[in-house]
Amino acid sequence: MTHATPYTHLPVVPCDAPFLPLVERIRREATVVDNRIVRIDHFLNHRIEPLFMRDLGQAMAERIHRFRPDLILTAESSGIAPALATAGVLNLPLVYAKKYSPDGPPPPLARVIASPTRGGEIMLRVAEGYLTPGMRIALVDDFLARGGTALALADIVAEAGAELVVTGFVVEKQFQDGRAGLVQRGLPIATLARITQLQAGSVIMAGDRA
């Protein structure tokens, strides 16, 4: 396996460095529902602003390129836009795990997970042949909450004989503790914005006073 050439033209940014334009937009524009759900889908994963998404991809690439991935992996559908923007900066292919209704035992390179947004369960699947032994994979997704999707994708990568070298998330909801399972597996985590809590209809970001 020939690994991707390090991108020496990109700065090396700490994995946990906040991307301030995103942090400020979340502070100004996020809608909080029941102090449990934060909505920024008007620019991140439903209505998408191409230039801002390009900037998010640049910021993510600056945090993960040091891990020399060969391919970007995400899950449909809300992870596709930031993952594609990141893949474009790094000139790497993108593969997204498709979602299906579970029906019988999962086939190879598939996992059944709980779906907090849809309710019930869904199956994530990657077609065989897109992840190959020895390949270095970077996972990029929109949110890290409980971590179920990320852990399922990590299992799929391992089953394929590839290596998950870094996980990247546009927004981490720290109060839902999805980071713990990834840390247990020794996986590096890159984030662009971290929400520590939702309080009285407001978003508290890392570094803010509650």
Q: Is residue 12 part of a domain?
A: no
pTM over 0.95: no
Give the model's confidence band at 117: pLDDT under 50 very low, under 70 low, under 90 confident, else very high: low
Q: Is residue 210 part of a domain?
A: no
Which CATH number fits the domain that encloses residue 63?
A: 3.40.50.2020
pLDDT at 179: 97
Q: Is residue 11 part of a domain?
A: no
Q: Is residue 136 part of a domain?
A: yes
- Domain region containing 115: 20-205
Total domains in the chain come to 1
User: What is the distance between the alpha carbons of residues 113 and 23, in angstroms, rounded to a whole number?
Assistant: 29
Q: Is residue 132 part of a domain?
A: yes
Q: Does the N-terminal peptide bond of residue 202 adopt cis geometry, omega within 30 degrees of 0?
A: no
Instruction: Annotate 23-54 with b (16+ C-beta within 10 A) or e (fewer).
Output: bebbeeebebeeeeebebeebbbeebeeeebe
Closest residue by Cα to residue 38 from 124, 148, 117, 149: 117
Over the stretch 10-61, which tens digit does the pLDDT of each residue have? Answer: 999 999 999 999 999 999 999 999 888 899 999 999 999 999 999 999 999 9
Over the stretch 139-182, which tens digit does the pLDDT of each residue have? Answer: 999 999 999 999 999 999 999 999 999 999 999 999 999 999 99
Q: Is residue 69 part of a domain?
A: yes
User: Do the Cβ atoms of 146 and 176 come closer than 8 Å?
Assistant: yes
Q: Is residue 14 part of a domain?
A: no
Q: Is residue 37 part of a domain?
A: yes
